[in-house]
Chain A
């Protein structure tokens, strides 16, 4: 009895120490794991998470007014029309504009206001030219004398609205929405609406390209999966060949082939199949051709990798059970390729959504997708807020799409595939 108690207490005594040692060993192991992923985690953080986060912030940032006219904006916070602001606000504006005069700050103010309404730039510049005001005059009268627009409430409303540090203006604009005079969100006037169309087009073209890639890529992948290795390797070479040439070179080649005096048209003309050259360039046709050419490998490779793992014995089994060949293919083989189809479709679709260079070079204005406008705002007009807003819309659309994919083809959905 006492022996038993002694040995039991010995175990109890050893227990905490053992646990501690185990915890220490675990901690060391976890640290080692952490060290292994640390470089990549840092890279992802610095090169991916941070830029995207700052992009999203940029989409709602409202630079120009609140940072350059802080006192005016603060004073306007208390004002809410319809009568004009008081003399103090006019004086603050005049002083702050005078301070900004001759520096890039003035340009920032002017650019930001001009974005709200074209024409305000010259109002700001013109006003600044007459500043600073003498201390003993009425700033209100002086500003109205410079330009009567200062005597109307709308300009002050605009200034107040543009003075918030954050704004939904760009995000709304990216969805063809504006805030009307009453502060309600409304659709932009028809002639200014473009992004909903473009977003729809981006989806539609991506959908078509993806579908065509699937239709063209599936048989190729299937053939590669069933051919003997030496011949499937040759086929693989052809599939991968486009990867080894620059995108620009490939696009230039398509321009040479498809133009009015290009090879294709000349061939068709000389064969007498057509009487005048077919317009094959700078339209949907050429964009689809160019995109499919570039994206096809991204469809074929996932399909192939999945198909390679599907044993031909399943189709044999179906045949032996009395199922005709075509039906065996569709009911037995095809469903097993779904993970590959899903991966290929997702990959190609998401790449399509961000396509820029091919539509820009092979398409007309009607073929431009959202990325074109992002580039336009980034490079041409330097409206980085708008570019960020459009990017945010594109990112959201892509994420939504991925969510749909994950629900439909995600791990839970295809778990029955794992064992094979």
Chain B
């Protein structure tokens, strides 16, 4: 998922310039709380175990940077965290190395979505309705409530982009979860989603950085927001009384991918193998409430921790998986339409 920060661009520049020493690994994630969790659960133990140093970096998921790097034949990022549609597209376009899964582990141990031609799932995340329980007298339970500005007056936060937003609009409009992508694949469905968004437009505060929703909720700028569950969880740890509505949430996985032509491919693969072990995955989920992709990691996990994970059975049951193929196909068109709609 994309966690924009003000400094991402600056850091990105700094990273682009710094050439890592031989055998060191440069790993690029989306930053924020999830990357801190990766440091503790993956990077530090990996360095201890292998002696390979890790240079962490962050980006906003711009595939342009990777494309430019691969085209120029000067790959300085050894491993990147990518979202599913980008992984599929990048794999087809030859931006990423194909992965020999035998070097990672037993395919059967993993969530099916975590096993890809060019990527290995890192964790399951969810984007869900979140609110501040101290500020709302009554708990919202669905996207229909999110759209109900009479019952819950105030500004709402949505991610500035078509992805998730259009799904939520259709869910709010009463489309059953299993039909959302079917409807959205038709012109009428898209019109319907935008019409629903039109109703809420004056009340929407758009956000781009994953860190924004918990802040804006806590400051009272927003009454409700679509938010990444891990961000909300992190705010809860800090004592904020924020809540996640798992009903009608959308989940997906972020994956590791190795840019094509990476000179340190072997070490990168080794890192993926290391980070995919149940113990490491368990450690990660204890740090931040994103679910493990290695199913074995769920065994023996504290039920309290498990309850906060998108991949907990009770949470999965009411959630909707993001349709990667749909977004690969329609992403550009819908994002463009969204942009023109939002800009008006």
* Interface set of A (CB-CB < 8 Å, partner B): 103-104, 106-108, 110-111, 114-115, 118-119, 121-122, 125, 191-194, 197-198, 201, 248, 251-252, 259-261, 282, 361, 364-366, 368, 373, 376, 378-384
Residues of A within 8 A of B266 (CB): none
Q: Which stretch from B56-64, B73-81, B300-308 is at the chain A interface?
A: B56-64
The one of A108, A114, A125 that contacts B332, using a Cβ cutoff of 8 Å: A114
Q: Which stretch from B15-23, B132-140, B249-257, B322-330 is at the chain A interface?
A: B322-330
Interface contact B194-A365, CB-CB below 8 Å: no
Chain B, residue nearest A255 (CB)? B6
The one of B6, B9, B67, B342 that contacts A382, using a Cβ cutoff of 8 Å: B67
> Once bound together, how far apart are the Cα atoms of A104 and B261, in whole Å?
14
> Once bound together, how far apart are the Cα atoms of A261 and B220, in whole Å?
8
Chain B, residue nearest A176 (CB)? B340
Interface contact A110-B67, CB-CB below 8 Å: no
The one of B160, B194, B219, B329 that contacts A261, using a Cβ cutoff of 8 Å: B219
Within 8 A of A (CB), among B83-135: 89, 92-94
Interface contact B335-A381, CB-CB below 8 Å: yes
> Once bound together, how far apart are the Cα atoms of A381 and B335, in whole Å?
9
Sample (24) of A-B pairs whose CB atoms are under 8 Å apart: A107-B89, A107-B93, A107-B94, A111-B89, A111-B93, A114-B329, A115-B332, A119-B330, A191-B341, A194-B344, A197-B340, A198-B343, A252-B6, A261-B220, A282-B206, A364-B206, A365-B339, A365-B342, A379-B62, A379-B63, A379-B65, A380-B335, A381-B336, A382-B64
Chain A, residue nearest B218 (CB)? A261
With contacts A261-B220, A379-B60, A381-B332 taken as known, whether A366 is within 8 angstroms of B94 at the C-beta atoms is no
Interface contact A259-B221, CB-CB below 8 Å: yes
The one of B64, B94, B220, B344 that contacts A260, using a Cβ cutoff of 8 Å: B220
Interface contact A366-B344, CB-CB below 8 Å: yes
A121, A373, A376 interface centre (most CB from chain B within 10 Å): A121
Residues 309-335 of B, flagged 1 when their CB comes within 8 A of A and 0 if not, give 000000000000000010011111111
Counting CB contacts under 8 A, is B10 at the interface? Answer: yes
Interface contact A380-B62, CB-CB below 8 Å: yes
Counting CB contacts under 8 A, is B205 at the interface? Answer: yes
> Once bound together, how far apart are the Cα atoms of A339 and B344, in whole Å?
37
Residues of B within 8 A of A378 (CB): 64
Counting CB contacts under 8 A, is B151 at the interface? Answer: no
With contacts A365-B160, A380-B62, A381-B331 taken as known, whether A103 is within 8 angstroms of B194 at the C-beta atoms is no
Counting CB contacts under 8 A, is B150 at the interface? Answer: no
Q: In the complex, how many angstroms separate the beta carbon of B154 from the nearest chain A beta carbon?
A: 11
Interface contact A191-B194, CB-CB below 8 Å: yes
* Interface set of B (CB-CB < 8 Å, partner A): 6-7, 9-10, 60, 62-65, 67, 89, 92-94, 160, 191, 194, 205-206, 219-221, 325, 328-337, 339-344
Residues of A within 8 A of B332 (CB): 114-115, 118, 381, 383
> Once bound together, how far apart are the Cα atoms of A282 and B9, in whole Å?
20
> Once bound together, how far apart are the Cα atoms of A237 and B301, in whole Å?
60
Interface contact A107-B64, CB-CB below 8 Å: no
> Once bound together, how far apart are the Cα atoms of A122 and B89, in whole Å?
12
The one of B329, B339, B344 that contacts A373, using a Cβ cutoff of 8 Å: B339
The one of B9, B92, B160, B331 that contacts A107, using a Cβ cutoff of 8 Å: B92
Q: In the complex, how many angstroms separate the beta carbon of B80 from the nearest chain A beta carbon?
A: 14
Residues of A within 8 A of B160 (CB): 365
Chain B, residue nearest A384 (CB)? B64
Residues of A within 8 A of B325 (CB): 122
> Once bound together, how far apart are the Cα atoms of A251 and B339, in whole Å?
23
